[in-house]
Structure 1
Amino acid sequence: MPSHTRTLLTLLIILCGLNLRPILAGTGPLLEPIRAATGLSFGGAALLTTLPVAMIGLCAFALPLFKRWLGSKGGILAGVLLIAAACLLRLSETTSALMLSAGIAGLGIAIVQALVPALIKQHGGSHVSLMMGLYVTSIMGGATLAAGSTPWLAGQLGWSPALAVWAIPAVLAALLWHSKAPAEVSHATSSASHIGRMFGKARAWSLALYFGIGTGVYVCTLAWLAPFFVFLGYSAQQSGLMLSYMTAFEVATGLLLPIIAARYHDLRPWLLFTLAANLAGLAGLAWLPGQHSLLFVALLGAGIGGLFPLTMILTLQHADDAQTAGDLTAFVQGVGYLLAAIAPFAAGWLRDLTASYALSWQMLAGTVLVLLIMTLRFHPARYQSALSH
């Protein structure tokens, strides 16, 4: 692919990526008015995050169908339009409409996230790490915008229209993708997929567990960080800004770390660095609530922002061709997102049970300790052999 075409594809992927998280990130700061309007418990409200994440996991296994029916260009277009439709559904202030919108959003996000990594692997050339970093950063950037602006929009329009507003950038992204996506994209992932072969590979399961735990920390903070600060006495606007502050650090490390790490074949030092930041941030929230909040939230954001793209790059490094990259990525995301969906629900259940968030943060800190141990096994000299067994 010519460099100017690759640049155009990257920009379009970034635009689509910006729309993958606002429907999730905008919910947390508005949890109290949503609960007041619908009567949802904290565990029930967690389903607004759990359902999309679980849907992302389930739909990742249907990647061959998406490829065959829609192709890459049509699939990503359909995914972004589904996200727009889910946002509009939130104009109906009913529990059933909210849950339906969560499921539809998860389907749209799943299609886009299943198709983009293989495109990057196929067309990225020597710029795979940079393209993946920009893509993941765009996802987190969308979360930053939604977390910071949705509470303000709710003050002007009401909580339901504030959530529905995010259909506008999704429609814009869909129109631009439809009209400007390079012709090569339409057939870039048309070869047969064999995700099933990954079920018998121990390394694929290890990567899926690694991705699932790390993503579980991310989606749990996306769901519960803003309500946590409301619990501490912050306003909805202030709580949303704290979530936006965290995701700003995610954007910074999500962009910078993949570029820096691209110079090194061994990702383990960088992964350990991000996990240490995650652990410090979670420990601070759990054991020093309300103290040094800006520091602990910044550490948590920096850790999450670096871990997500580095994990995706680690997964791609295990594949020696675009086909294997697509199969492995779909498997890792399928299993991983299903595991990650447990985290926000478990945290909401613990919040109902204990009337506190401390145990939720402690639970997540424990899972990060597991990742620290797992990281040591990912020696680059064994990437290909580990996946082949």
Structure 2
Amino acid sequence: MESVRTTTTRPAAWLMLGIVLVALNLRPSMAAVGPLLSAIRSDIPLSFSLASLLTMLPVTAMGLAMFFGLGISRRLGERRTVLLSLLVIGLASLSRLFLDSAPPLIASAVLAGIGIALIQALMPALIKSHFPDHVALCMGLYVTSIMGGAALAASLAPLVLLHGGSWREGLALWSALALFAAMAWQMQGAGSSPVAAAKAGRESFFSNARAWWLALFFGLGTASYTCVLAWLAPYCMEQGFSEQHAGLVLGFLTAMEVVAGLAVPAIANRSRDRRGVLGGLLVLIIAGFCGLILSPHHLGLLWPCLLGLGIGGLFPMSLIVSLDHLDDPQRAGGLTAFVQGIGYLIAGLSPLLAGFIRDRSGSFEGAWWSLTAVMALMLLMVLRFDPKHYARHIR
């Protein structure tokens, strides 16, 4: 077991830099697939339903792995858990250089999802423990970095294909980023508290109604993210965009997520009541989906901008609201692990359902309308997040 190293013995900026570099690796394995899907499908026979597994299964694996991620962290310590996870992500990405059929390609996606989940299970508790006075800001930086990794992958992967590479190289090059992050994390050497981790690992939230409500809210919100990540680029190509243009549209959307991930938590940090901010973000997402369906060729960048700002802000705010319910960092980390575990299982279904709708109807518009209705439902759920009642729901 490793002993605690607080920010008093290690510069907080170096720890935050390590977290940022690690977070950059949590989406490229999925974000690079959409812009390259046409090239992949020309080489490997994939229906849209089967192609959806490249996003669905890693997200589902992320959900399942959340439930034992804290247990692994308790045994290995934070530093070794993150290092192991980065190596798993890097290996999954590198293996794509040698794939020639659908099953191993899907298996690589699942392997990456497990590595991603182990990191995401422990990061909220680590942030709340090391940065107790700046949770919203640091969570914003962490989530923004996740979105930034997605933006890099969506923008650069099709450029690799354009300049004489293959889709395999476009998917595999992200193993280098994982290796770099692993070296940086090893050098700054974060540790963990075995006592605190054990405490977090023992508590179960399965019988708590508010924990399920938070998980449902996180899952439905993340469903919009995973579905857009999987299908926005293919939808753009159906509208006449080139692979490179479609990849840049997805990259622009994820860049807007980065902006929102930085700005929204800082704005929300002014008040413990997050309902107004959450409602505004959901309205942005609804407007983005409606524009994407009704007028994809007019004001073309406005709709991905609105979607990116809404989704990019909603993701960290969903986790911040969960962290708000408990003051103890390790209990709050256990709650967010539960919320993400259930939430990713819910969110993992959205790419599959959208792919099924596309195969049956010949269009993604039905999927976008369905997600619009879900966001409207979430506006009603937001009303339940009154901070005056948090202590009553989770003691």
TM-score by length of 1: 0.97
1:6 maps to: 12
Q: How does 1:223-372 map to 2 (within 5 A)?
A: 223-372=230-379
Cα contact 1:61–1:195 (8 A) shared by 2: no
Match of 1:39, as an amino acid?
P
Q: In 2, are the aligned partners of 1:119 and 1:188 still within 8 Å (CA)? A: no
Task: Report the alpha carbon displacement of residue 287 of structure 1 after superposing the two structures with TM.
Answer: 2.5
Shift of 1:333: 0.5
1:1-389 aligned within 5 A: 1-2=6-7, 5-91=11-97, 92-155=99-162, 156-182=164-190, 184-185=191-192, 187=194, 189-194=196-201, 197-388=204-395
Conserved 8 A contact 1:119-1:189: no
Q: Equivalents in 2 of 1:54, 1:387: separation in Å?
A: 26
Q: CA deviation at 1:101?
A: 0.4
Gaps of 5+ in 1: none
| Distance in structure 2 (CA, Å) of the matches to 1:194 and 1:19 | 25
Secondary structure in structure 2 of the residue aligned to 1:157:
coil
Change (3 A) 1:196 1:42: farther
Deviates more, 1:149-158 or 1:218-227: 149-158
By how many angstroms is 1:383 displaced? 1.1
Q: What CA distance in whole angstroms lies between the structure 2 residues aligned with 1:386 and 1:284?
A: 38
Q: Give 1:195 shift.
A: 6.2
Instruction: Sort the Cα spacing of 1:304 and 1:384 in 2 relative to 1 into closer, same or farther, 3 A.
Output: same
Residue 39 of structure 1 aligns to a residue in which SS? Answer: coil
* Cα distance in 2 between the residues matched to 1:99 and 1:164: 14
The answer to whether the 8 Å contact 1:52/1:105 transfers is yes
1:332 alignment partner AA: V
Query: Partners of 2:167 and 2:193 in 1: how far apart?
Result: 38
Worse-matched range after superposition: 244-253 or 189-198:
189-198
Contact 2:55 2:230 in 1 (8 A): yes
Call closer, same or farther: CA 1:64–1:141 in 2, change over 3 Å. closer
Residues 153-194 of structure 1 deviation map (CA, whole Å, 9 limit, x = unaligned): 122211111110010010110111112123x44658532334
Count how many residue pairs are aligned between Structure 1 and Structure 2: 387
Whether contact under 8 Å (2:71, 2:201) holds in the other structure is no
Cα-to-partner distance string for 1:280-332 (whole Å, 9 max, x where unaligned): 00111123233322111100000001101111110100112012112101110
Residue 3 of structure 2 is matched in structure 1 by none
Question: Could you tell me which amino acid in structure 1 is paired with residue 34 of structure 2?
Answer: G
Bigger share in helix? 1
Contact 2:212 2:339 (C-alpha < 8 Å) held by counterparts: yes
List alignment gaps of at least 5 residues for structure 2: 1-5
Task: Output the CA distance in 2 between the equivalents of 1:267 and 1:143.
Answer: 26
Do the aligned residues in 1 keep the contact of 2:70 with 2:121 (CA within 8 Å)?
A: no
Q: CA deviation at 1:86?
A: 0.7
- Partner Cα separation in structure 2 for residue 186 and residue 166 of structure 1: 31
